[in-house]
């Protein structure tokens, strides 16, 4: 059961159109309520009731450059045919970096971490207020808008090649699939090689100053990123721990 709360927000315009949100939720009542609430905020909403149609929407509306036709996905965990975690894995494997907000009645730390690990950007447990959901949607869209800057569209460091426009990362000549958070972390590190970042600075820059959570989130994502970049993650060459301070790239 969701709590409907009124807000005074209005959705921003992107490239002359309203932001497009895909709502994938198996429960009909919840799906309708999300549709109404987001539409009232000014978003263009497309709904899906199962995993297969969700994947079809995401891939069919994908642009030639690999960019998603959606600006945000609200993804239910318990979708039939393909669940939310399976969809996240498939979407990230295809290199689609659209922000994903996962919804679930499961509130255990393990379920939350697993959802983030497979590629979700944020995780919200039921029941929740619509004001909180709208705020999280706006935060994800805001972070996505400022995630890539033209000055750092192409970056090179030793065996790593980073191309922001194509959303591609090559490590020793092989393409690797990164989650959106991993992608943004790598962009930040490669843009400021040799700089030491504290965990709080990383949280503020990648997760946003409004993020409420544990700084250990940074350590977890750094570990995942190391596993994809380093020959030996236990003895990293690229992302180095600076004890008592934080992390340095290079």
pLDDT of 66-110, one tens digit each?
456 899 999 998 899 999 989 988 888 777 778 899 988 766 566
Q: Give strand ranges (E) for the chain.
A: 13-14, 17-18, 20-24, 44-48, 72-76, 100-104, 122-125, 154-157, 160-163, 168-171, 174-176, 196-198, 239-242, 246-249
Q: What is the CATH number of the domain that holds 165?
A: 1.10.10.10
Please report the pLDDT score of residue 14 as a whole number: 55
Q: Is residue 240 part of a domain?
A: yes
Please report the pLDDT score of residue 58 as a whole number: 87
Range 110-118 average pLDDT: 68
pLDDT in tens, 14-52: 555 688 999 999 999 999 999 999 999 999 999 999 999
Range of the domain at 198: 150-249
Indicate the pLDDT class of residue 8, thresholds 50, 70 and 90. very low
Closest listed residue to residue 158, CA positions, set 88, 236, 80, 89:
236
Task: Assign 17 to helix, strand or coil.
Answer: strand
Strands 246-249 and 196-198: antiparallel
Segment among 119-128, 132-141, 211-220 with least mean pLDDT: 211-220
Q: Is residue 4 part of a domain?
A: no
Q: Is residue 80 part of a domain?
A: yes
Q: Is residue 5 part of a domain?
A: no
Using left for φ > 0, alpha for ψ between -120 and 50, and beta otherwise, residue 208 falls in left
Question: Are 193 and 109 contained in the same domain?
Answer: no
- The 10 Å Cβ neighbour count of residue 125 is 15
Using left for φ > 0, alpha for ψ between -120 and 50, and beta otherwise, residue 178 falls in beta
Residue 12 scores a pLDDT above 60: no
Residue 165 scores a pLDDT above 70: yes
Q: What's the rounded Cα separation, in Å, for the pair 137 and 73?
A: 9
Please report the pLDDT score of residue 7 as a whole number: 40
Q: Of the candidates 122, 145, 168, which is a domain's last residue?
A: 145
Which range has the top average pLDDT, 71-75, 126-130, 147-151, 197-201?
Answer: 71-75
Residues 39/9, Cβ–Cβ less than 8 Å: no
Please report the pLDDT score of residue 125 as a whole number: 85
Question: Are 139 and 50 contained in the same domain?
Answer: yes
Question: Are 137 and 155 contained in the same domain?
Answer: no
Establish how many alpha carbons lie within 13 A of residue 102's alpha carbon, considering only the half-sphere containing its beta carbon: 27
Tokens for 32? 């309708």
Q: Is residue 2 part of a domain?
A: no
Residues 143/208, Cβ–Cβ less than 8 Å: yes
Please report the pLDDT score of residue 222 as a whole number: 94
Question: Are 30 and 128 contained in the same domain?
Answer: yes
Question: Are 133 and 167 contained in the same domain?
Answer: no
Selected residue with higher pLDDT from 170 and 152 = 170
Q: Of the candidates 79, 114, 145, which is a domain's last residue?
A: 145
Q: Is residue 191 part of a domain?
A: yes
Q: What is the CATH number of the domain that holds 138?
A: 3.40.50.2300
Q: Is residue 7 part of a domain?
A: no
Q: What's the rounded Cα separation, in Å, for the pair 126 and 247?
A: 35
Total domains in the fold of the chain: 2
Establish how many alpha carbons lie within 13 A of residue 250's alpha carbon, considering only the half-sphere containing its beta carbon: 14
Question: Are 119 and 83 contained in the same domain?
Answer: yes
pLDDT in tens, 186-215: 999 998 888 899 998 898 888 876 666 677
Question: Are 132 and 169 contained in the same domain?
Answer: no
Q: Of the candidates 86, 118, 145, which is a domain's last residue?
A: 145
Please report the pLDDT score of residue 223 as a whole number: 93
Question: Are 30 and 131 contained in the same domain?
Answer: yes
Question: Are 224 and 239 contained in the same domain?
Answer: yes
Beta-sheet strand order (sheet of 72-76): 44-48, 20-24, 72-76, 100-104, 122-125
pTM: 0.59
């Amino acid at each position: 059961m969701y709590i409907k709360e009124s807000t005074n927000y209005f959705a921003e315009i992107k490239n002359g159109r309203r932001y497009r949100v895909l709502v994938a939720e198996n429960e009909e009542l919840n799906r309708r309520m999300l549709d109404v609430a987001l539409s009232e905020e000014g978003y263009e909403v497309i709904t899906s009731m199962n995993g297969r149609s969700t994947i079809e929407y995401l891939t069919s509306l994908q642009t030639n450059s690999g960019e998603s036709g959606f600006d945000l996905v609200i993804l239910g965990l318990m979708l039939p045919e393909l669940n939310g975690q399976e969809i996240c894995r498939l979407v990230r494997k295809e290199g689609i970096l659209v922000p994903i907000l996962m919804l679930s009645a499961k509130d255990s730390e393990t379920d939350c971490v697993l959802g983030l690990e497979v590629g979700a950007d944020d995780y919200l447990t039921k029941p929740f207020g619509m004001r909180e959901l709208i705020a999280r949607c706006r935060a994800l869209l805001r972070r996505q808008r400022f995630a890539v800057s033209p000055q750092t569209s192409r970056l090179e460091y030793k065996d790593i090649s980073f191309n922001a426009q194509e959303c591609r990362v090559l490590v020793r000549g092989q393409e690797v699939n990164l989650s959106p958070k991993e992608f943004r972390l790598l962009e930040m590190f490669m843009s400021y090689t040799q700089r030491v970042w504290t965990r709080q600075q990383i949280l503020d820059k990648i997760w946003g100053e409004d993020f409420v959570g544990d700084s250990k989130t940074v350590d977890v994502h750094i570990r995942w990123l190391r596993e994809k970049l380093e020959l030996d993650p236990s003895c990293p060459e690229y992302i180095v721990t600076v004890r008592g301070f934080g992390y340095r790239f290079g």
